[in-house]
Amino acid sequence: MTQKLIVIGAGMATGRMLEHLFDAGANVDVTLFNAEPRGNYNRIMLSPVLSGDKSYEEIVTHDADWYAANDVTCRFGEAIIAIDRSTKTVTAANGDVLCYDKLIFGTGSNPFIIPLPGHDLEGVIAYRDLEDTRRMMDLGPANKCVVIGGGLLGLEAAAGMAARGVDVTVVHIMGHLMERQLDEAAGYLLRKALVEKGITVKCAANSSKILGENGKVKALMLDDGTELPCDLLVMAVGIRPNVKLAQDSGLAVGRGIHVDDHMVTSDEDILAVGECVEHDGAIFGLVAPLYDQAKVAALTLMGETARFVPKELSTKLKVTGCDLFSAGDFAEGEGREDIVFRDPARGVYRRLVIENNIVKGAVMYGDTADSNWYFGLIRDKTDIADMRDTLIFGPAYQGGTPLDPLAAVAALSRDAEICGCNGICKGQIEDAIAGGARDLGAVRAITKASGSCGTCTGLVEQVLAVSLGDEFVASAAVAICGCTDMTHEDVRRMIKLKKLTSMAAVWQECGWKTSCGCHVCRPALNFYLLADWPLEYQDDPQSRFINERKHANIQRDGTFSVVPRMWGGITTANELRAIADAADKYMVPTVKVTGGQRIDLLGVKGEDLPDIWADLNEAGMVSGHAYSKGLRTVKTCVGTDHCRFGTQDSTGLGIKLEKDLWGSWTPHKLKLGVSGCPRNCAEATCKDIGVVCVDSGYQVSIGGAAGMDVRETELLIQVATEQEVMDVIKAVTQLYRENAKYLDRIYKWMGKVGLDWIKERIEVDRDALVDRFEVSQSIYRKDPWTDHAQTKADSYRPLANFALEAAE
């Protein structure tokens, strides 16, 4: 007996189901409804159509001949509007009523439109069908488009339009692109590739409203007030299963239409396949599982028993030049380990997540040739114990004996490239060695190999080792930490040279061996990035040592100390009263006068910090940064105000300096002193920067210390006016910030670069250095206590308190 099938939706899932039915010679009479005015096509190829790589005709999967050959009654451009399950009939949009033996839902999903003010303006579209695609194709070069959503769909839309010369901005709410499929490092590489295509990418950006003019979209406004002008706005923020019709007809519906393992809905004569279904709590958004469903549905219709079993999924992005792949679960977790491989020169990143010798997830960027092999390992749960050491290099390296790195280098041909940045081959390095180069420095000097990004340093050393044998002594350059082979200096150079403005960028471009650094490198990188890119980089509290993260000095018992600023060592009766009141109120066990001319409240409980700060703020006091690698104190003496020997207003100058410099982060702590005469009561000549006032002006000297090393400062310059003192000190501070290694105080840095170099830079670049210092201070010259007391107080309190409950 011929079964009458009515299919709702000519989508990717139902198209595949019909193929299975006809291929198996099923005895069916099919009527195919589709709300879109066309038959089945390959929806996922809309992106190549958009970018111009394919035409619509090329992506049609079933043409008129195919429908005719299989006697399919096509009703394209017609939606089903109602179903009567008791009579087993459907009603089409034109009112026709048709009977079915079996009904198949394949209604797909609806794109989600965020209900922002203005979302109904003309020119606000989704990205789902050919109509949307044509709207984008018609936009024409030199127009502006904003895409909301930095996921798969949004990025394909953006890249497709950019390829047509449209000025595209992608607005993404999360911190990195495609965060559901990619980790930070791969997200960084993707962003970089898109930016190179001329696309503007805004992450961590929240849309607030859509602005229009004469009913047509004009701009998108972000919640920070930024306006992004646009002629078309594409929302690609997610999809919702299209269940309205199923719901209206009384089928069991959750997020999607409920189906069992055989793709049968709560009505035994109605099946559903594709994005409209919910199976075992899961909904679907990629075609691979839909094809499996299509096969199961076809078998069910033919009276066979088949079960749908969800499988691991993988994602690829169809944007030319952005080769990425992600599969499985790559979250960290108990018992999970990471293997990371980065090749900055080629922009390659690979990360595998392994648990009990089984690959759980993979993220790859740049070179995805091996993705299928990894996907197979994930899907088949292959035990990888035997190939663990070489797994990350891909299938080509498996089997046989593990590679000895030296043997591998020895086996390279003379024209194998060693240094990608400078295009230096192994042969050139061998020639340099034959010509007398005996160490890394010499090879670098002669060939430039490893002189740029430095990531091939290890390889160059291996060539040296192979060529020289025992004669070769590895260089003593000290890497920052175990996460990298690069030195602080190399990394700083890369950050400036390649304009790296995020931590993920540094990890990738400098070939970090861990996924997210460690307690040694992260604080250093955080400093380098904020010092070099104050406007672009956002300070990362999680990469700071606790004292800086919580703006208080941790004590041996886990309590903290609180030191308010006393500008230039001057205080008032009111401030002292407020300090005394705070000491009482928060039961501070110790109040001490510090060696830096101010008062320390020691032993404050972590959870009291925001409150005690708020009280001190109330009395006009701000953080003393007694915890920071940044400006600490400016010690002064009484100067001309009171002292009979004073030559200048040392107290006033000290206060001015402290008010301009506070909040600035530096490689190590920065202490200043201003003495009113050469008697030097403020001990200015053992500070990082000291000023000694004399009759004719001011002697500014640098590089003092009185800690583990005791050093006297050396004269940098003598100037006539206070203004010049301020400028010179800002300039030298900026020079120090921009160049020194993290945790080098000025005297150590000076020992490396030489006082003469510093003098010269201060002469030549003074104004530019001062300008850059001020730019940075526009962000950082503010009180962290106020900020945390007002906006982050909660984070200082316990996450939960069960101490009382248990006691009851």
Partner 1 sequence: MTNWIDIAALDDVPQRGARMIKTASGCVAVFRTANDAVFALDNACPHKAGPLAEGIVHGTSVTCPLHNWVISLETGEAQGADEGRVATYPARVENGRILLDSDFFRTRAAA
- Residue 393 tokens, joined: 């290099």
Q: Does 391 bind ligand FAD (CB under 6 A)?
A: no
Q: Does 13 bind ligand FAD (CB under 6 A)?
A: yes
Query: Across-strand partners of 370?
Result: none
- Write down the least CB distance from residue 180 to partner 1, Å: 11
790-799: string of b/e by CB count within 10 Å (b at 16+)? eeeeeebeee
- Residues 651-690, one symbol each (x = binds ligand FAD by CB under 6 A, - = not), give ----------------------------------------
As a whole number of angstroms, the distance between CA 673 and CA 729 comes to: 12
Cβ proximity to ligand SRM: between 503 and 612 the closer is: 612
Residue 274 partner contact from ligand SRM, partner 1, ligand FAD, none using kind-dependent CB cut-offs of 5 to 8 Å: ligand FAD
- Single out the residue of 719, 709, 735, 562 nearest to residue 653, CA to CA: 719
Cβ proximity to partner 1: between 266 and 547 the closer is: 547
Cβ proximity to ligand SRM: between 130 and 706 the closer is: 706
- Write down the least CB distance from residue 623 to ligand SRM, Å: 11
- Single out the residue of 132, 183, 130, 597 nearest to residue 351, CA to CA: 183
Cβ proximity to partner 1: between 401 and 801 the closer is: 801
Q: Does 368 bind ligand FAD (CB under 6 A)?
A: no
- Write down the least CB distance from residue 121 to ligand FAD, Å: 22
Residue 178 partner contact from ligand SRM, partner 1, ligand FAD, none using kind-dependent CB cut-offs of 5 to 8 Å: none
Burial class (CB in 10 A: 0-12, 13-18, 19+), 247: exposed
As a whole number of angstroms, the distance between CA 700 and CA 657 comes to: 13
Residue 705 partner contact from ligand SRM, ligand FAD, partner 1, none using kind-dependent CB cut-offs of 5 to 8 Å: ligand SRM
Residue 596 partner contact from partner 1, ligand FAD, ligand SRM, none using kind-dependent CB cut-offs of 5 to 8 Å: ligand SRM
Residue 777 partner contact from ligand FAD, ligand SRM, partner 1, none using kind-dependent CB cut-offs of 5 to 8 Å: none
- Write down the least CB distance from residue 802 to partner 1, Å: 5
Among 12, 90, 674, 702, binds ligand FAD (CB under 6 A): 12
Residue 626 partner contact from partner 1, ligand FAD, ligand SRM, none using kind-dependent CB cut-offs of 5 to 8 Å: ligand SRM
- Where in 64-83 is the site for ligand FAD (CB under 6 A)? 79-80
Specify the DSSP class assigned to residue 630: B
Helix (H, G, I), strand (E, B) or coil at 227: strand
In contact, 76 and 36? CB cutoff 8 Å: yes
- Write down the least CB distance from residue 650 to partner 1, Å: 38
Q: Does 366 bind ligand FAD (CB under 6 A)?
A: no
- Where in 277-296 is the site for ligand FAD (CB under 6 A)? 285-288, 290
- Where in 21-40 is the site for ligand FAD (CB under 6 A)? 33-36
Give the interface with partner 1 as residue ranges (CB under 8 A): 183-184, 330-336, 338, 514-519, 522-523, 541-546, 549-550, 554, 556, 558, 606, 794-795, 798-803, 806-807
Q: What are phi and psi of 327, to 5 degrees?
A: -150, 155
The set of residues, in sequence order, having a beta carbon less than 8 Å from that of 778 and lying 6+ positions away, is: 534
Residue 476 backbone class (left: φ over 0; alpha: ψ -120 to 50; beta: rest): alpha
Among 39, 108, 569, 630, binds ligand FAD (CB under 6 A): 108
DSSP-derived secondary structure for 325-340? EEEE-----TTEEEEE
Instruction: Report angle CA 274, 280, 283 to the nearest 5 degrees.
Output: 40
Cβ proximity to partner 1: between 446 and 518 the closer is: 518
E-only strand ranges, 54-186: 73-76, 80-84, 89-92, 97-99, 102-105, 109-111, 124-126, 144-148, 167-171
- Residue 603 tokens, joined: 């032993």
Residue linked to tokens 């901005």: 169
- Write down the least CB distance from residue 705 to ligand SRM, Å: 4
Cβ proximity to ligand FAD: between 109 and 597 the closer is: 109
- Write down the least CB distance from residue 66 to ligand FAD, Å: 17
Burial class (CB in 10 A: 0-12, 13-18, 19+), 436: exposed
- Residue 66 tokens, joined: 């195919």
- Give the CA radius of gyration of the chain: 34
Cβ proximity to ligand SRM: between 573 and 708 the closer is: 708
Q: Which helix (H) or strand (E) holds 468?
A: helix 457-468
Q: Which helix (H) or strand (E) holds 492?
A: helix 488-497
Residue 553 partner contact from ligand FAD, ligand SRM, partner 1, none using kind-dependent CB cut-offs of 5 to 8 Å: ligand SRM
Give the interface with ligand SRM as residue ranges (CB under 6 A): 553, 555, 561, 563, 592, 594-596, 598, 600, 626, 632-633, 669, 671, 705-709, 745
As a whole number of angstroms, the distance between CA 700 and CA 677 comes to: 13
The amino acid present at 146, given as its one-letter code, is: V
The alpha-helical segments, DSSP class H, found in 203-303 are 244-248, 287-301
Q: Does 274 bind ligand FAD (CB under 6 A)?
A: yes
Q: What are phi and psi of 470, to 5 degrees?
A: -65, -20
Contacts with ligand FAD, residue ranges (CB under 6 A): 8-14, 33-36, 43-44, 46-47, 79-80, 106-108, 127-128, 153, 156, 242, 245, 274-275, 285-288, 290, 318
